[in-house]
Structures are given as C-alpha cells and as structure tokens.
C-alpha cells in the first residue's frame, strides 16, 4: 500500500516496486479516480489525470486505487481502508506485505502566523494518515508487514517557515520507534530534497538547501539510497546530508555509517623481475604511509585496510572474496584493470592454473557488471544472492537478456535461479564449458574452452531451487517467451 502514491515521488517509488520487486500495489490518494486502471485505449474517458497515471503504472504490474483522504474522520477512514485491503486481497490473491507512507503537505509560513485550523491541516496528512495506516496493520493480517515512512530532515533539524512540516515529520520518526517497540518492522527515512520531485517539484529551494547541507537527491541516487537504507534495518535514518557543512556536522553526535569497508590492494608490476621482494617491501611502506581512512564514493570517511600481494593476479583473486565493482568493460574482453574477481583452482608449474584463474576473473566480472546494471547498484559481492539484494523474476529476465549478449555460452533461465550468486553461476558456466570441451575432444582443464568461454572446476555446490524460486523461474520464463513472441 502506498499513500500519496500518485505524486511525482510516489509514482517513482511505485514504478520501482512494480518493476524491481514484482509487487502488486494498492495506492491511496485524495483525488477521485477509478479502483482499477482503464485500458490504454480508454484512458481519457476513465478517471482523467488520475486514470492516466494509474494506466501508466498498470503497464508494469497490478495496481488498484482507493480515493480517500486519510486525514478525514478516523472511523470512516478505518472502514474504507479495511474494505479496500479485503477487496485487493480477493482480486490479487495476496496479503498486505508492506506500507509506504508518502502523503504530506507543506504550508510554508512562520509558526506565529498559523491558526489552529491551518496548523491542523498542515500536519494532518502525515500524522493522521500514519496513524490510520498503523491501525490498519493492527486490525488486519498486516501485523508482520513492513511500515516505511517518508520523512524529512526538517523533522530532525527543524527549519525556518516549515515548523508545522517539521513537527509532522518528527511525529513519523517517533512513530517508527514506537512501532519497533511493539515488535513491528518499521523505519522512517528522513530525506533531504529530491530533484524536482515531491515537495521540491518547483526546484526553488535547491541552492538554499545545498548551502545548509541538504544535498539534492537525483532519482537514481534516491532509489539506490532507498535500497541501502532499508537494508540497514534501523528505525530512523537521515539521507542526503553534506557532512562538510557546519550545520549538520555540529548537530550529529556520531559519524556517518559506511556501507562497506575499503581495501587497498597493490602488487609489483613484474614480480619475477630483479628486486621483487624489495619492491614488495617498498609497496608495503608506501601503503603504511596512507591515511587510516579514505573517502568512499559518497565522500564518507571509511576505514581502509591495506594488502600487498605477490602478483597482480593474486591481488585480483583476493578481491574476489570481497565486493565486485560494476564498472568497466562488460563485453567479455576485460583488461587488467577489470580483472578484480578471482576464481578457485590451484596453480601449476606451466601456468595453466593462473590462466584459468584469469579467465574466471573475466567471467565473474562480466556477470557482476550485468547484475549491477540490472539492479541499479554499484557493486555486489561474489557470494551475494541475486534475489536477496533486489532481484526478482522481472530482473532475472533482464539479466538473462544481458548475459545472452555478452557471453558466448550464456546461462539458461533455470541456471539463474539454481545458481543465484556470481560465484556459483561462474562455477556452473565454467563446468559446462569444460564438459563441452572434453566432449569435443579438447582439454579437460585449462584457461578456456574452444569457444573462448572460461573453464574451471565447479568446486561449490549449487543449491536446489526453492518453491519460491521455482515459481519465480516459471514467471520469468513466461515473460521471456512473451517478449520473444513464443509460448513457454
């Protein structure tokens, strides 16, 4: 359920839920509109602007709409919400899994100029709306649902002429703590301003907010931040602060939380040349002279470990056990700078093991880059489960299309569900390539198969598909067949 889901920010979040998570949505808004989106051909005659917005969203998945002012009489609101949830559950065949509360209004004026009525109106959409949704989860089968409130940095820092708005957002932040104390999954995400979306749609406050330390958040940055914030599983998170500005820096008691640790790896360019050990010692001394923290891509000071490897290929292999960057060449001919994911297998005197490792690095790099592109993130771990970090049947279909264009022997849709990590999928593809090479009379081990696909031993067990994974696989294959105009 999304409250305020047809505003600019609401539509962005709704599309993300539909396309990335294969969600089914019940949107609540104040404007009149149809319960169910009209067909494309009848958009203009059914629901006007609201109907058109619903039809656009319905192209991505199942959408229902409830025209309701959440700030109205509580008894009326509660009854309407329960009735809508019951109807949606019957039509869509699913339960209420989460609530995203985006509704709200801004009435900018000094607090002394407010009347009791105007103050009530200014805070009602956020406060009364949140309480109505809170009661809904207590009264229905949604007690285990996740409750996400879109709050504002003003709720924590305040702000001139936005006293009522700040108070309403502070209420959302406090409600999340209360919900946690009741054993519910809840979080309040306190945003700075989105770029020309939501409350900052006119773009007027951008420069003033930036000077204060509130960064403007682009759509892609915002969605990535939403994923990261929900993964932290905390009751209250501040998003979009520029910690180089004195205002936020002077009002926070702890450092910004880093999402990952940085590791600096270095190796001599020619380890077998003269003076190899001496060069490694010099590298180690140079790394020791670095600052203990380094700025990550977000400008956050992050602890940085240092490692000196015997050779560049060893440094690449060590990187395989950490995070995989999504940038770089994704077409299958990765250069030295791209080969930062390593594989298993032992080296041999003739260098065959090193060649196999380099080939595995290239294969894992290609898979990881495709993951990052599909999921819209910057890096993944080689042991991360695709379906635990935002993947679903829709994303798997897109991933399959990318890998088909980038690998000589791409995985099947079934492979994506049976091998849901970068490492297990690379192991599987390498084993398949090795088996084909043997069948064709080629070597059973080595750097690559006859068609250039990297080979390696499948040293990791591949998990059997779960019931949910099997259903997702079937949905993905239906989508793929529909895209190609064939029957599954």
CATH 3.40.50.720 domain locations along the chain = 2-249
**What pLDDT sits at residue 434?**
79
**Sequential DSSP letters for 297-331:** TTS-EEEEEEEE-SSHHHHHHHHTTSEEE--S--S
Overall average pLDDT of the 213-233 stretch? 86
Spatial neighbors of 427 by CB under 8 A, at least 6 apart, are 344, 419, 456, 457, 458, 459, 460, 462
Q: List, for residues 176-205, the tens digit of each pLDDT value.
A: 999 999 999 999 999 998 887 766 655 555
- Dist. CA 406–CA 422, nearest whole Å: 15
Q: List, for residues 357-408, the tens digit of each pLDDT value.
A: 677 778 888 998 888 888 877 677 778 888 777 788 788 888 998 898 889 8
**What pLDDT sits at residue 200?**
60
**What pLDDT sits at residue 41?**
45
- Dist. CA 158–CA 160, nearest whole Å: 7
183: its two tokens: 């054993």
User: Exposed (0-12), middle (13-18) or buried (19+): which is 377, by Cβ within 10 Å?
Assistant: middle
Confidence of residue 146 (pLDDT cuts 50, 70, 90): very high
> By mean pLDDT, which of 27-36, 315-324, 353-362 is the weakest?
315-324
Arch. (CATH architecture) of 2-249: 3-Layer(aba) Sandwich (3.40)
- The CA-atom distances, in angstroms, between 359 and each of 25, 268, 377, 435 are 44, 21, 24, 16
- Average pLDDT of the chain to the nearest whole number: 76
**What pLDDT sits at residue 329?**
32
**What pLDDT sits at residue 199?**
61
Torsion angle in degrees (nearest 10) through CA of 111, 104, 219, 372: 120
Q: Answer for the pair 297, 228: CB distance below 8 angstroms, yes or no.
A: no
Q: Comparing C-alpha atoms, which of 121, 87, 84 is closest to residue 104? A: 121
- Dist. CA 329–CA 325, nearest whole Å: 11
In this prediction the pTM is 0.59
- Look at 214 and 477; give whichever has higher pLDDT: 214
Spatial neighbors of 145 by CB under 8 A, at least 6 apart, are 96, 97, 98, 99, 137, 185
Q: List, for residues 147-176, the tens digit of each pLDDT value.
A: 999 999 999 998 888 999 999 999 999 999
Q: Answer for the pair 379, 325: CB distance below 8 angstroms, yes or no.
A: yes
Overall average pLDDT of the 103-108 stretch? 88
Number of H helices, E strands in the chain: 16, 12
**What pLDDT sits at residue 14?**
94
Confidence of residue 102 (pLDDT cuts 50, 70, 90): very high
pLDDT of 40 > 90? The answer is no
pLDDT of 298 > 70? The answer is no
**What pLDDT sits at residue 18?**
92
CATH 1.10.1200.10 domain locations along the chain = 323-484
Confidence of residue 448 (pLDDT cuts 50, 70, 90): very low
Q: What secondary structure letter does DSSP report for 100?
A: E
Cα dihedral 163, 164, 165, 167 sign:
positive
- Hey, which CATH number is domain 323-484, 3.40.250.10, 1.10.1200.10, 3.40.50.2300, 3.10.129.10? 1.10.1200.10
- Look at 473 and 308; give whichever has higher pLDDT: 308
- Dist. CA 449–CA 463, nearest whole Å: 25
Q: Comparing C-alpha atoms, which of 222, 218, 189, 227 is closest to residue 375? A: 227
- The CA-atom distances, in angstroms, between 146 and each of 77, 177, 431, 434 are 20, 13, 41, 45
pLDDT of 235 > 80? The answer is yes
- Dist. CA 129–CA 190, nearest whole Å: 17
Confidence of residue 326 (pLDDT cuts 50, 70, 90): very low
**What pLDDT sits at residue 209?**
76
φ, ψ for residue 454 (rounded to 5)?
-60, 145
- The CA-atom distances, in angstroms, between 77 and each of 30, 73, 119, 133, 317 are 12, 6, 21, 9, 58
Q: How many CB atoms lie within 10 A of CB 348?
A: 12
pLDDT of 237 > 90? The answer is yes
- Dist. CA 237–CA 153, nearest whole Å: 9
**What pLDDT sits at residue 344?**
30
185: its two tokens: 């999954």
Overall average pLDDT of the 6-12 stretch? 90
């Amino acid at each position: 359920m999304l409250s305020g889901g047809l505003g600019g920010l609401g539509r962005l979040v709704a599309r993300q839920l539909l396309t990335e998570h294969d969600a089914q949505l019940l949107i609540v808004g104040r404007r009149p509109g149809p319960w169910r989106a009209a067909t494309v051909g009848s958009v203009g005659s059914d629901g006007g602007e609201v109907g058109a917005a619903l039809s656009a969203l319905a192209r991505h998945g199942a959408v229902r709409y409830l025209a309701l002012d959440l700030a109205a009489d509580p008894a009326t609101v509660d009854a309407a919400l329960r009735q809508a949830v019951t109807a949606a559950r019957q039509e869509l065949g699913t339960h209420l899994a989460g609530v995203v509360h985006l509704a709200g209004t801004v009435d900018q004026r000094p607090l002394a100029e407010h009347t009791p009525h105007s103050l009530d109106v200014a805070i009602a959409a956020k406060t009364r709306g949140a309480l109505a949704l809170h009661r809904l989860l207590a009264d229905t089968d949604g007690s285990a649902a996740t409750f996400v409130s879109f709050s504002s940095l003003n709720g924590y820092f305040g702000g001139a002429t936005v006293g009522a708005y700040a108070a309403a957002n502070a209420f959302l932040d406090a409600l999340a703590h209360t919900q946690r104390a009741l054993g519910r999954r809840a979080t309040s995400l306190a945003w700075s301003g989105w770029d020309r979306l939501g409350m900052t749609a006119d773009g007027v406050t951008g420069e003033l907010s930036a000077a204060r330390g509130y960064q403007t958040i682009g759509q892609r940055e915002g969605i990535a931040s939403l994923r990261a914030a929900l993964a932290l599983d905390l009751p209250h998170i501040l998003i979009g602060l520029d910690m180089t500005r004195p205002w936020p820096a002077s009002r926070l008691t702890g450092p910004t939380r880093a999402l990952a640790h940085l590791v600096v790896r270095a190796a001599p360019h020619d380890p077998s040349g003269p003076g190899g050990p001496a060069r490694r010692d010099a590298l180690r001394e140079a790394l020791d002279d670095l600052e203990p923290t380094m700025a990550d891509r977000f400008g956050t000071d992050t602890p940085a470990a240092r490692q000196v490897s015997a050779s560049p290929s060893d440094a690449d292999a060590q990187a395989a056990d950490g995070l995989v960057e999504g940038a770089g060449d994704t077409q299958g001919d990765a250069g030295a700078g791209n080969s930062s994911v390593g594989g298993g297998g032992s080296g041999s005197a003739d260098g065959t093991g090193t060649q196999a490792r380099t080939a595995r690095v290239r294969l894992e790099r290609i898979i990881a880059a495709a993951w990052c592109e599909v999921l819209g993130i910057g890096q993944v771990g080689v042991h991360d489960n695709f379906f635990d970090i935002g993947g679903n049947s829709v994303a798997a279909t897109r991933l399959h299309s990318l890998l088909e264009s980038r690998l000589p022997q791409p995985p099947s849709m079934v492979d994506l569900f049976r091998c849901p990590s970068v490492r297990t999928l690379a192991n599987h593809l390498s084993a398949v390539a090795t088996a084909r090479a043997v069948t064709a009379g080629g070597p059973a081990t080595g750097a690559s198969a006859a068609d250039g696909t990297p080979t390696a031993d499948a040293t990791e067990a591949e998990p059997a598909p779960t019931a949910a994974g099997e259903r997702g696989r079937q949905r993905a294959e239906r989508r793929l067949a529909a895209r190609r105009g064939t029957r599954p």
